[in-house]
Chain A
Amino acid sequence: MKSMRLALALCASASLSVAHAQAPADYPADYAAVIAAARQEGKVRIYAATDTAAASPLIKDFEALYPGVKVEYSDMNTTELYNRVISEKAAGGTSGDVFWSSSMDLQIKLVNDGFALTYKSPEVAKLPEWAVWRNEGYGTTYEPIVFIYNKRLLKPEEVPQSHAELAKMLAANPERFKGKLTSYDIEKSGVGFLLITQDAKLNPAFWDLAKAIGAASPRFQSSSGTMMERIGSGENLLGFNIIGSYALLRAKKDPGIGIVMPKDYTLVMSRIMFIAKTAQNSNAAKLWLDYILSKRGQTIIANQSELGSIRADVEGDLTAHGLAKALGSALKPIQVGPGLLTYLDQAKRLEFIKQWQQTAALRK
């Protein structure tokens, strides 16, 4: 199945690359000028907190679609990206043209602080309303936040199907899960902090859950890779607040890992992309953004990058469309907007981390 899809995509890109100069049919008439200017610029520099592995099919397809526009892709972690954007802007030297990160709050902070170029993508009508802010910050992926568990050690009927069940299970068997629970270290991981604060905002019983988690002496990690590794090995039994796209990719390689999308609510995060206000290759940057949001780009995101498509008109399991069928209103996308600034507030952040440590952190 997978190989056939790939072949089809290659086929499509091959046929399209012939007609490379053509702007998509429903794009504005002057889009050809943007393409021409982008070709003059010759490249687009992307700073991203997304694995090169996930991005490379997109880069290949983009370069095939717009020959003459090369993608310079720099992969870094979210905090590094944020700091680099700010320091390079302050220094006034060369910087990235497009910034793409899973740390939604930091991205929004950059947009709010005036780092983004206002550009209304022709694809904007195809995106959900919550995914676009100011025509500057665009949500580009659709990634559910899931539980993962060790299939061998946890019986199917034991696996919690919701946050409430997780809290109940932990409270019922504190000894069994002692030291077997894992999640992000919210002090070290920006994404972990973002997700846990969204939980706190969304779930009225959050602090009860936190207490139950705390009672199980959880093991917090700064990266999802370590968490999945330990669950695969059986060192940990269950992990929560795992990014679904990573989990799915892992589960494909490691059949011992099971995935649950919580039925009460499943957070959905979306990698935010924006064009730098001071972009040197702003036309190429526009092409890239539009490509990522286009049906063609989103099809690759869903089927090759495994990041989940945000477009309703892209079919597949890992798309907004497919997930909505399975989970309905339990899907809670994190809104791309100024609300994300709340937990970036210095005082708020310290206050929250303090409370979280006191309630949920490891007790000796």
Chain B
Amino acid sequence: MTGSIVFEDVWKVYRQGRVEYPALRGVSVEVRPGELIALLGPSGSGKTTFIYLAGGIETPTRGRVVVNGHDITRMGEGERARWRRRNVGIVFQFFHLIPSLTALENVMLPMILAGHPPKPERRRRALELLDLVGMRDKADKFPSQLSGGEQQRVAIARALAADPPLILADEPTANLDTENKRRVIDLLVEANRMGKTVLYTTHDPELASKAQRVIKIVDGRIVD
């Protein structure tokens, strides 16, 4: 069941004071291991919430989320953090690299937390991943010394670092130029070829078309 995602009647409602904002309204969906899925929807449709729920970053208000065979809705925050280390790699819209760490160190960080691969191999693997995303020559650069596209490629390498079966990418191309958009999507496709289940969100139908399956989401509901 590695790389699988199951949403069963999942609701997520955010509250601000007395006002409630439903982000997901009874979503039920299944992602099978090894799939390359694009979650397509306009801004505010609930895409990021979907990714956060699948990654255990947030918990549903109602319903069940089972990822890689684990019901993550039953886990505590700390348990989910530990579970994420070996099960999920996340790519954020705004890259979110740690600014005080170099590209190489950012990629090494998940390996240290996961305790995998063994210590002597981490640096080599991090360099291999940076090589994969075309960033090996900038391994010692800090995020502030990299362009947006370069930062996102490092973020993809970081997501792959601990060799998780599932890669979640939240609007990975939203802040990139056309060339970098293509490169990032190509890398996600490459990750999928490596056997990873990849789920990325986008509002761009053309980018969504690169996926094996497209799930459309509008106002927190799956429409197709």
Bound pair (A, B): no
Chain B residues packing against A (C-beta within 8 Å): none
Chain A residues packing against B (C-beta within 8 Å): none
